[in-house]
Amino acid sequence: MNIVLFTNTYTPHVGGVARSVAAFRDEYREAGHRVLVVAPTFPDMPPEEDVVRVPALQNFNASDFSVALPLPSGLNATLEAFEPDVIHSQHPFLLGMTAVRAARTFAVPLVFTHHTRYEEYTHYVPVDSPALKAFVIELATRYANLADRVFAPSESIRDLLLERGVTTPVQVIPTGVYVERFAAGDRNAARRRWELPADAFVVGHMGRLAEEKNIGFLADAVAAFLAGAGDRYFLVVGSGDAEADLVERFRAAGLAERLVCSGVLEGQALADAMNAMDVFAFASQSETQGMVLTEAMAAGLPVVGLDAPGVREVVRDRHNGRLVATASPAAFADALGWVHDRLAAGEDGLAASARETAEAFSMARSAAAAVACYRELQRSSDAGRAEQDDLWDQVRNRIRAELEILSSLTAAGDGALEESQRER
């Protein structure tokens, strides 16, 4: 198949969506499919095969995101030469709108993955407000209804989308994990690199350090746990605007020397760092799936996380970690202590259960499920595509796409206004 992936975030940006797109791209290509990625440009980009880079606003509103401009020149000619069988959009705005135009122009199925709870990210916009949150919820919902199929990364998000009024069929397809990559890390090498004692108990975390990831809560909870003994450390892999606050909280707690921030790691260095940990701590409540949790479990790590969408589908309380129902640092610290005590007693059931969970979320399974959906949609659209040879049909479909987009944006704005008026 010829698969086109439209995404507003992509390498070298480090984040869940970028990593998801790259993982599915690699798996599709490994299976013999052609993949074209349409993504924002970044400074000093090296030449890439089958990637179309479009102009973008860098570091939008002081964040680490690049915002793609939605009218890339020459894209239609590139897509026409590629002859897409399916268009897969990762976002409901910017290049997501371009994906709708492309799918309608070439009369191919449009798939949309609802990666993100967008209302949790409106603080990146200067005019953040309840009305804006309502608008992005409406926009994502109406965008989903423009698609032929919606992928939800977890059961929680599928249920949320149905509750919000998505009528397009929703299929649960999480981003899988390359189990073998994370299982092959060198624990001792990483501990030597970061000067962690061989016998220390290391709490770990990996991800983008941003406000919506609940980093302040995580810092307080882990600091409370570390304060209980001198042989406990916190290894944090990643970077972001919340890193300074994390460091300051540990300094204020008198634990600065037991916090290790490695920065962004990839490949073998990342696998090594994950294996240097003893337990993985995760406090975000804005996730749609537990991708980083399954990666941690592939390294044999029990996970302690707050009970939230994307987390509860992966963490089974007292089986492969702890699912903390009470969002308090003290309760979270107690859960870390529970894991510590069982590992100290030599119990290996948590690690074995974590690895078993990771196997159930393998990347190969997720990609195969996605391709099966693509083929199903392709079969249903073949007849319409056969009639798509006339240029006027393409123009007519493009007009249809513009009307659908305009209608979607208008309805989302009306819905947000009604919600705002009800709250007054």
| pLDDT tens digits, 119-171 | 654 444 444 567 777 777 888 899 999 999 999 988 888 999 999 999 999 99
Q: Tokens representing 285?
A: 């409540």
79 and 128 belong to one structural domain: yes
Overall pTM surpassing 0.75 (yes/no) = no
197 and 226 belong to one structural domain: yes
Distance separating the N- and C-terminal Cα atoms of the chain: 51
Look at residue 369 and give its three-state secondary structure.
helix
122 and 61 belong to one structural domain: yes
Report the percentage of the chain scoring pLDDT > 70.
82
Q: Are 36 and 2 in contact, with CB atoms under 8 Å apart? A: yes
The 10s digit of each residue's pLDDT in 6-65 is 998 888 776 778 889 999 999 999 999 999 999 988 777 777 889 998 876 555 444 445
Total domain count for the chain?
Answer: 2
143 and 212 belong to one structural domain: no
Residue 175, Cβ density class (10 Å: 0-12 exposed, 13-18 middle, ≥19 buried):
buried
329-344 and 349-360 are packed helices; what angle lies between their axes, rounded to 10 degrees? 110
221 and 290 belong to one structural domain: yes
219 and 202 belong to one structural domain: yes
333 and 302 belong to one structural domain: yes
The 10s digit of each residue's pLDDT in 111-131 is 999 987 766 544 444 445 677
| Residue that is last in its domain, among 360, 383, 408 | 360
| Residue that is last in its domain, among 341, 360, 379 | 360
299 and 410 belong to one structural domain: no
185 and 322 belong to one structural domain: yes
122 and 25 belong to one structural domain: yes
161 and 186 belong to one structural domain: no
Q: For the chain, give the mean pLDDT.
A: 85
64 and 192 belong to one structural domain: no
How many Å apart are CA 127 and CA 359, to the nearest integer? 43
How many Å apart are CA 341 and CA 64, to the nearest integer? 38
Question: Could you tell me the CATH number of the domain that includes residue 286?
Answer: 3.40.50.2000
How many Å apart are CA 95 and CA 7, to the nearest integer? 6
Q: Which residue range is the domain that position 120 belongs to?
A: 2-176+363-423
| Residue that is last in its domain, among 338, 360, 382 | 360
